[in-house]
Amino acid sequence: MQAHQRMLDPTSKGLHSGESPLLQTAGLTKRYGDFLANDCIDIDIWPGEIHALLGENGAGKSTLVKAIYGLIQPSAGEIRWQGERLSGPSDARRRGIGMVFQHFSLFDNLTVAENVALGLDGKESFKHMSARLEQVSKLYGLPLDPRREVWQLSVGERQRIEIVRALMQDPKFLILDEPTAVLTPQEADQLFIVLERLKAEGRAILYISHKLEEVKRLCDTATILRGGRKIATCNPRLETAASLARMMVGGDIKEVKAASARKTTVPRLVVNDLSLAPGEAHGVRLEHISFELKGGEILGIAGVAGNGQDELFAALSGERLSKDPGTVVIEGIAAGHLSITQRRKLGAAFVPEERLGHGAAPRMKLSENALLTGHAASGMVHRGFIDTAATLKTVDSATERFDVRKAKRDPEAGSLSGGNLQKFIVGREILRKPAVLVVGQPTWGVDAGAAAVIRQALLDLATAGAAVLVTSQDLDELSEIANRIAVMFHGKLSAPLATSEASREKLGLLMGGSSLEPKEAAHAVGA
């Protein structure tokens, strides 16, 4: 590995002659008790460079960027800015370090300008700041109307606010965490243009992403972490996605394979003209949604977050009930008026998008979380008494089959990394062998190894005869596992397209609100 690093390391002496690194970490170490989150990490990041930070969930990426941004104090080592040691968070931001987090920190009922103002130092008047906001957003091709309230904006527009807010502080070094996770392909392409412009201005960008083809396209350098240590620094353009993933996980990632001849059976999940008013002030109204999902089939639903996917999940799972029982039919039984538990007894299982708080209670043990969803139909309760052995068996089975990595047999859910908790939640439901599985964002924010495990499990479940509905913003994921793909936009569902006909461009247009031409739409429905 060391020879590989020396051969490909683009930051080695000579390739940046006449310059010095903009930011360096030297022996950066962060310890939590006996656990080493970062172990003596050395990184050089240069002006005018887009530098990828790659690694599995739990590899130490979040700890490292939090230390650079000044949110946590390293246990040992130091961070240098143009050769001078940074003294703390205020020093980091004063010198020009900015960060755009994966999860937005915006207030829906405030305007764009008001949200931006909350993140600035308040030294300029609100009027002047609003004018500068509009000017900066246009300059970088990220147009925003300072007067609009955030709840009216798409997810892509909300991300623009975060980026423009960071740019208004004139950063020399910008950290971006999974910036394309919520974007359409067209919006991602526009973001790449912006990042290339920032690079041309001499700014440095630290880019965190699980999308390895994206990293190869955009980034000049990649640093790979594994188990809290730096494994390699390389030029990602000279690597393949497979070789980058291999460095991240320490071995080959199994190829995801669907059965050569997957047989479909009778419809197991049918939705008939489902319309539902939003359950909250800024929710999305579902309008006349209809589809049929057979056993052995995976239906993918694409779409930018916030277009009704959460509302559809709630309607299918029983978190929101319908006045007409026939709007949701599970295994031939009208279920629109039935509770979550009653739908589970019909053979349905559900994996929500949000892991902590929705998919799992963070302060409860894994066995207790298994009981929460499995008590109705998994033999964990007998005559009112909990079968503890059965709950632990579910934990052990999910651990073995889905490679859930944890410190002890039955830890609290909140102690697991995001990817490992996701594998447990998906595994917990699949082990029930449901007739119908509805899953939201199955590989959201998980690394390539965990994603492959989850996708293969979904394919295997469909091959066994289950009907699987997957909502995802990852078009590559849907293309890999789905038979058909539809798109959610403003609470409406497009006609499903056969995956072979669902190009990224076509899906991206639908995700942005464009409709197919009549001939094209008719062909897609009949595919």
CATH topology of domain 2-96+171-249: Rossmann fold (3.40.50)
**In terms of pLDDT, which residue wins out, 365 or 521?**
365
Residues 332, 333, 338, 344: is their CA dihedral positive or negative? Answer: negative
Distance separating alpha carbons of residues 207 and 240, to the nearest angstrom: 18
Mean pLDDT on 193-205: 94
Strands in 381-495 per DSSP E: 381-382, 385-386, 436-440, 467-471, 484-489, 492-493
pLDDT tens figures, 222-243: 999 999 999 999 999 999 998 9
pLDDT of residue 518: 40
Whole-number percent of the chain with pLDDT over 70: 93
Domain 267-526 class, CATH top level: alpha beta
pLDDT of residue 279: 83
End-to-end CA distance of the chain: 48
pLDDT tens figures, 410-419: 999 998 877 7
pLDDT tens figures, 395-442: 999 999 988 888 899 999 998 877 789 999 999 999 999 999 999 989
* Residue 103, pLDDT above cutoff 80: no
Q: Nearest CA to 163 among 180, 151, 147?
A: 180
* Residue 321, pLDDT above cutoff 50: yes
pLDDT tens figures, 250-286: 888 888 888 766 778 899 999 999 999 988 877 899 9
Burial 319-332 (b: 16+ CB within 10 A, else e): bbbbeeeebbbbbe
Give the DSSP H or E segment for 191. helix 185-200
Helices (H), 288-358: 309-317, 340-345
Distance separating alpha carbons of residues 406 and 408, to the nearest angstrom: 6
pLDDT of residue 449: 82
pLDDT of residue 3: 37
Residue ranges per domain, the chain? 2-96+171-249, 267-526
**For the ranges 170-174, 179-183, 456-460, which has the lowest average pLDDT?**
179-183
Mean pLDDT on 333-359: 94
pLDDT tens figures, 285-309: 999 999 999 999 999 999 987 899 9
* Residue 4, pLDDT above cutoff 70: no
Q: The whole model's pTM is what?
A: 0.77
pLDDT tens figures, 118-133: 988 778 899 999 999 9
Q: How many CB atoms neighbour CB 459 within 10 A?
A: 20
Note whether 2-96+171-249 and 267-526 share their fold.
yes
**In terms of pLDDT, which residue wins out, 9 or 380?**
380
